[in-house]
Structure 1
Amino acid sequence: LLDKTLEIQMGLYDVLLTECGEYIQIVETGDDYGTQRGPIISPELFNEMIVPRRKKLNDFIKSKAPQAKIFHHTCGSVYKILDGIIATGVDILNPIQPSADDMDTFRLQKEFGNKLIFHGGIDEQTALIGSMDTLKKEMEVRVQSLGKEGGYIMAPTSNFMDDMPLENIVNFAKMAKEVGVYVC
């Protein structure tokens, strides 16, 4: 099943990237590997079953678009399998979900900041529905942690949701210009 899925994915990326690969800067891939408490499978099984296939897919994508960054989406607590994710050739990790176990953003930056670009980290379940002070504080913490050495793209942990006040979304964009500047 995993090999058939890989074959279909490679066929899709082949069609897309054969036509426009030279113009692409980022290619998004995704599989959810985490829950709020940890990976959905053991790190050993992840390394045995997922890493070789995901690496083959990412290598194929890079062969079609060598300049492109691989942007990989996986929700949840993936700290215990980050070495495997990095080994597959992922450049950008989305989302960073600091409310999940083991996803402390200072620790992630310290251990993986020289290997990954982090995308996300602004919690849509708390900060983006809370007060402007709460939102700004969360944004500042993420810049201080994930942006320490560069390589951070500020964004919600998932998406802007329909229960978020429009004012918060607008203010998020305004505050990103204010707090989202850091020196590499």
Structure 2
Amino acid sequence: MNSRERVRMVLNHQEPDRVPVDLWGCASRLHTELYLDICKHVGLEAKEEDRIRKGSTTEYVDYRISDMVGSDFRHIHIGKPDYFSKYEDEDGNIIDEWGVGRKVIGVHPSITKYPLENATIEDLETYKWPIARDPGRIRGLREQAKDWYENTDYAITSTTAISGLFLEVCQYLRGIEQFLMDLYINPEFARKLIEKVTELIIDINVYYLEPVAEYIEWIEFASDYGTQQSTFISPDIFRKFFKDSHIKLAKAVKSVNPDVKVFLHSCGAVRGLIPDLLEAGVEILNPIQPLATGMDSAELKAAFGDRVIFHGAVDIQTAMNGTLDMVEEDVKKRMDALKKDGGYICSPANHLQIDCPVENFFAMYEFAKIHGKY
């Protein structure tokens, strides 16, 4: 059985020969320092052409490593727009096409400039929004997807087009505290901002999807609705402000190709939102963070396993930075809980960080193939 057949069976809630494994998909990447350590460990040189996520903490996508661990996937990445290049302003902020400014603080980039922090509703009409349908975003993507589809047996997916979705982009523009207050004390403004952001996100993603839709299994989106202990926003606020945007996004995907599945990455304790997310069109849920409150793998499988595909789940908070025995124990635990009747793709429950030993990285994928057999 090849990788594409294996993945398609799992997506149809059938049991293939083993659970598929993913590397380089959404929240299945490697912190740059860990990636470079892995290259050193196996005697590879990092290649500049693989550094396709410059400025992030997970810059590299290297399919030489994928093949070493037996990943079942190849991933399409959106290109950079022709009309805009990031630049540094007078205060040292790196400005993106949304007008949002960031600085690297410690090992992670942090937002330091919120361009709509003091905006009015009228300002939303005159703001310089991104150009969605810029040819640089999709240049070469159809050719890449077609080549992988016709000349390899990998399952092909499209990774996230932008960082975050409706909640995150509004926070980037407005500021986290200000936007959360808007939801309660300035709902008219919040709705108008969400409406504008939703329109742009859908347009960007449809444009991104159109040239590759006949070749891919899913398209990835990311919106972190959970903290370690609870949802970041209440289910009521989600329903009032964000659920309709998810419904529109899912419908837009299906209008391009009804066979392309909707994949959502949402960190943390999102148990209370899962019914609404499924109603809104989510078909694959990642990362199934196992130590977050309410995210017990077995309970989630029992409650939702016939309606959603689980992706991720291997604990990175304690297991992946622990002993090899801890890695194997956790991988086996996830397989025992999630693999029955298909519907599970194994990967780390978020990007592997610099505290993960190189040996544990390779071991996780070996244990997944051992304990993922049907």
Q: Name the structure 1 match of 2:273.
A: 81
Cα drift, residue 125 of structure 1? 1.6
The partner residue of 1:52 within 221, 244, 252 is 244
Q: Name the structure 2 match of 1:137.
A: 329
Cα drift, residue 56 of structure 1? 0.5
Matched-pair contact (CA < 8 Å) for 1:24–1:65: no
Give TM-score scaled by structure 1 length: 0.95
Structure 1 or 2: more helix by fraction: 1
Q: Name the structure 1 match of 2:219.
A: 27
Q: Name the structure 2 match of 1:71.
A: 263
- Whole-angstrom CA distance in 2 between matches of 1:27 and 1:65: 11
Cα deviation 1:12-55 (Å, max 9, x = unaligned): 11211222222221100111111111111111121221111101
Give TM-score scaled by structure 2 length: 0.48
- 1:151 correspondence with 2:343: yes
Cα drift, residue 163 of structure 1? 1.8
| Stretches (4+) displaced over 3 A | none
Higher relative contact order (CA 8 A, sep 6+): 2
Matched-pair contact (CA < 8 Å) for 1:70–1:90: yes
Q: Name the structure 1 match of 2:41.
A: none
What is the total number of aligned residue pairs between the two structures?
182
Q: Name the structure 1 match of 2:301.
A: 109
Counterpart residue type for residue 245 of structure 2:
R
SS at match of 2:342: coil
The partner residue of 1:8 within 184, 195, 200 is 200
More deviation, 29-38/17-26: 17-26
- Whole-angstrom CA distance in 2 between matches of 1:114 and 1:143: 16
Matched-pair contact (CA < 8 Å) for 2:332–2:368: no
More deviation, 154-163/27-36: 154-163
Cα deviation 1:84-104 (Å, max 9, x = unaligned): 010111111010011100111
Q: Name the structure 1 match of 2:163.
A: none
Cα deviation 1:111-137 (Å, max 9, x = unaligned): 000011111111112111111111111
Counterpart residue type for residue 31 of structure 1:
S
- Whole-angstrom CA distance in 2 between matches of 1:31 and 1:6: 13
Q: Name the structure 2 match of 1:161.
A: 353
The partner residue of 2:290 within 85, 98, 105 is 98
What is the RMSD computed on CA atoms of the aligned residues? 1.1
The structure having more radius of gyration, on CA atoms, is 2
Counterpart residue type for residue 145 of structure 1:
A
- Whole-angstrom CA distance in 2 between matches of 1:16 and 1:23: 13
Cα drift, residue 65 of structure 1? 2.2
- 1:39 correspondence with 2:231: yes
Counterpart residue type for residue 303 of structure 2:
E
Matched-pair contact (CA < 8 Å) for 2:331–2:371: yes
SS at match of 1:72: strand
